[in-house]
């Protein structure tokens, strides 16, 4: 029980310029037990007698021991960490999803590692390669389109992977999201039902953000089926903002004064348009109707209140994290695909 004491202070150990962190061995010596017992007391306390547990807790407190998670991770092939890879941190949607993920995972003792790809598949590939080097417990990434290398690597990886934001077949593992085509279709259908016929779609970043493109396609298809001019499309390449929304609004009005309704790719753009309409005294929806997508809280506070297709973004993050956790805790999740749904919020702007 005390043999360990001798061999400890032998010099010549410890490189890393003498940082001498307190190690599990120090705690073990202080508590008069074997290192492995300390390890158990910390990781599986119910496998250690109360007597020792108390001695060990005291030693941990006295020495200010902080477990080296890196060493633990190496020994047990993995750390409680989940990389979350999103296209951008300047888009509110992803932020809210990350928030849901983070809150859920942190509650279960997992850390979130943040990565952003800028909608660039090569960067995503590099990021995935890199974060897999940490042997994380699982991975959450955005969308269903990835490089072959990423797909192959993750499929053969053997740990849970969640692809989120988008719904579809042939995913790597688990999948939570919304059907973007349906989202676009829902608003288009609503605008048609309201009696509008001259309808334009206004969006941003559709060259690289293919989910935005899917929503447009849903919109386009519904209009075409209705036998209505379906290809009125205004777009910018900069990220969405109130200002771009304002600009798109003005451009569309100028290019097609006969427009009756504007279907914006998201609420930021739509809000920018409504705010500009307010300023210019253009009446919404009498002069022109406006619809959005997302369900940002701002949309309820505008005058007129914005009609939008709301998506529970925070909840999507929670759901993604939950799926992962279920798999990790061996509760063998049944659902491998989860449609988080969307809801048309009919308000005053249409």
Partner DNA sequence: TTAAGAAATGGTAGCGCTACCAAGCCACAC
Partner DNA sequence: GTGTGGCTTGGTAGCGCTACCATTTCTTAA
Question: Which residues, 174 to 233, sit near a copy of itself by CB under 8 A?
Answer: none
57 belongs to the binding site for DNA (CB under 7 A): no
Dihedral of the alpha carbons of 144, 180, 311, 314, in degrees to the nearest 10? 10
237 within 8 A of 212, measured Cβ to Cβ: no
Closest CA to 72 of 42, 28, 108, 104: 42
24 belongs to the binding site for DNA (CB under 7 A): yes
Cα–Cα distance between 139 and 125 in angstroms, integer? 13
Cα–Cα distance between 270 and 305 in angstroms, integer? 11
Q: Which of a copy of itself, DNA, none has residue 39 at its interface (CB below 5 to 8 Å by kind)?
A: DNA
> Could you tell me the maximum CA-CA distance found in the chain, to the nearest angstrom?
90
Nearer Cβ to DNA, position 68 or 336? 68
Nearer Cβ to DNA, position 29 or 236? 29
Q: 39-61 burial, b if ≥16 CB within 10 A, otherwise e?
A: bbbbeeeeebeeebbebbeebbe
Please state the closest distance from residue 152 (CB atom) to DNA, in A.
19
Task: Identify the bridge partners of residue 294 per DSSP, sorted by sequence position.
Answer: 310
Please state the closest distance from residue 178 (CB atom) to a copy of itself, in A.
21
Question: Which residues, 73 to 112, sit near a copy of itself by CB under 8 A?
Answer: 73-74, 76-77, 79, 81, 89-90, 95, 98-99, 102-103, 106, 111-112
Closest CA to 275 of 246, 296, 252, 301: 246
Which of 29, 30, 37, 205 touches DNA (CB under 7 A)? 37
Nearer Cβ to DNA, position 49 or 90? 49
Interface ranges with a copy of itself (CB under 8 A): 16, 19, 64, 66-71, 73-74, 76-77, 79, 81, 89-90, 95, 98-99, 102-103, 106, 111-116, 129-135, 153, 158, 241-243, 246, 271-272, 275-276, 278-279, 297-298, 300-303
């Amino acid at each position: 029980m005390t043999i360990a004491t001798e061999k400890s202070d032998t010099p010549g150990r410890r490189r890393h310029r003498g940082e001498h962190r307190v190690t599990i061995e120090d705690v073990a010596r202080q508590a008069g037990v074997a290192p492995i017992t300390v390890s158990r007391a910390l990781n599986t306390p119910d496998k250690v007698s109360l007597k020792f547990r108390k001695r060990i807790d005291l030693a941990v407190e006295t020495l200010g021991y902080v477990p080296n998670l890196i060493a633990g991770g190496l020994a047990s092939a993995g750390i409680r960490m989940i990389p979350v890879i999103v296209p951008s941190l300047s888009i509110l949607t992803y932020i809210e999803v990350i928030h849901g993920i983070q809150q859920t995972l942190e509650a279960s003792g997992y850390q979130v590692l943040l990565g952003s790809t800028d909608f660039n598949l090569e960067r995503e590939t590099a990021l995935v390669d890199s974060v897999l080097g940490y042997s994380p417990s699982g991975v959450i990434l955005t969308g269903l389109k990835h490089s072959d290398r990423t797909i192959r690597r993750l499929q053969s990886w053997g740990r849970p992977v969640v692809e989120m934001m988008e719904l579809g077949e042939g995913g790597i593992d688990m999948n939570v999201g919304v059907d973007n085509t349906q989202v676009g279709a829902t608003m288009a259908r609503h605008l048609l039902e309201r009696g509008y016929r001259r309808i334009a779609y206004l969006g941003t970043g559709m060259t690289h953000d293919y989910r935005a493109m899917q929503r447009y396609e849903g919109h386009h298809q519904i209009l075409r089926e209705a036998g209505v001019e379906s290809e009125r499309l205004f777009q910018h390449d900069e990220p969405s903002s109130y200002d771009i929304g304002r600009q798109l609004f003005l451009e569309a009005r100028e290019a097609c004064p006969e427009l009756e309704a504007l279907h914006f790719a998201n609420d930021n753009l739509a809000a920018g348009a409504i705010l500009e309409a307010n300023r210019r005294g253009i009446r919404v929806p009498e002069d022109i109707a406006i619809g959005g997508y997302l369900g940002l809280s701002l949309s309820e506070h505008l005058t007129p209140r914005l009609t939008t297709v709301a998506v529970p973004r925070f909840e999507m993050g929670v759901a993604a994290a939950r799926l992962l956790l279920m798999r990790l805790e061996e509760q063998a999740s049944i659902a491998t695909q989860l449609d988080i749904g969307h809801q048309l919020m009919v308000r005053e702007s249409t």
